[in-house]
Amino acid sequence: MKKMTKVMATVIAMAMIICGLTACGGEAKSNTIKFGTNAEFPPFEFVAANGVIGQFDGIDIAIAKQIAEDNGMTAEIENMEFDSLLIAIQNGQIDAAIAGMTIKEERKEKVDFSIPYYQATQVMIVKEDSDIQKASDMADKKICVIQGYTGEICVKEMGYPYESFKKGTEAVLELVNGKCDVVVIDAATAKKYVQDNAGLKIVEDAEAFEGEEYAIAVKKGNTELLDKINKSLEKMLSDGTIADLGIKYSVAE
Ligand code: ARG
């Protein structure tokens, strides 16, 4: 009987050691950060033959990779519709969303945001010969926006009717084909579309469109990951990494 107890004690002790080493029973520590994005938003995220991570390239993808590296981890990218990102965070399908995502009060109710890493604003893309000069000139025009983007929220708040598309490229095609008069979208992405399509120009209205800040979203209360992300972002902001990425991806794509 005594011997039996000793054997049992040894077995339990060994099991405890093994469990301690492999974290069994507890939540296994993953060495990857699963970032969700919507790779339809150049220069922040787009699909390319030789991307920074697999087929994904852009400022955000480079930032995601660096965040993982700074923490001795690997970054994985999951591409989905922009509209699905917050739900994917909430149900644990992804750890974080990096998608040129603007901090908004209504989004803050669903997820936690990192420190901001990029200042943005909405602009209007119009045909070169358009008479639109300010946001209120859109009143009697056909407006195109992208579903779920802050551009849609802005136009809705202005009270103008609009049509929404799943992708920026679809809205821009509509504009190029003369089926709509103006596309409201984030400035850096607008610049890309104007570079890629002849006959378009950008119209700004800083009074009508307020400044926006992009940040990374994580599950509410996931301070462990948020701390890692924030530390890495702070470093990349102060050592010029993010500024350099902005230059690299806006000029040389
Ligand atoms: N900044 C805008 C927003 O937060 C648009 C972001 C779109 N991002 C993307 N990866 N498709 O709504």
- Model pLDDT for residues 75-98, shown as the tens digit of each residue: 999 999 999 999 999 999 999 999
CA of 166 to the centre of ligand 1 (A): 12
Which of 25-29, 132-136, 238-242 is least confident? Answer: 25-29
Residue 179: C-alpha distances to residues 78, 132, 143, 198 (Å): 33, 16, 10, 16
Please tell me the residue having the least CA distance from ligand 1 atom 12: 149
Tell me whether the omega of the peptide bond preceding residue 43 falls within 30 degrees of 0, making it cis: yes
- Tell me: pLDDT of 253 over 60: no
CA of 198 to the centre of ligand 1 (A): 24
pLDDT-based confidence at 180, cuts 50/70/90?
very high
- Model pLDDT for residues 126-138, shown as the tens digit of each residue: 999 999 999 999 9
**Residues flanking ligand 1, CB < 6 Å:** 37-38, 40-41, 45, 82, 99-102, 149-150, 186
Q: Which atom of ligand 1 is nearest to the CA of 39?
A: 10
Determine whether 186 is exposed, middle or buried from the number of CB atoms within 10 Å of its CB (0-12, 13-18, 19+). buried
Please tell me the residue having the least CA distance from ligand 1 atom 5: 149
pLDDT-based confidence at 252, cuts 50/70/90?
very low
Tell me the β-bridge partners of 97.
36, 217
CA of 3 to the centre of ligand 1 (A): 67
Q: pTM of this prediction?
A: 0.88
Q: Of 186, 209, 210, which is best to mutate to test ligand 1, by the most ligand atoms within 8 angstroms of its C-beta?
A: 186
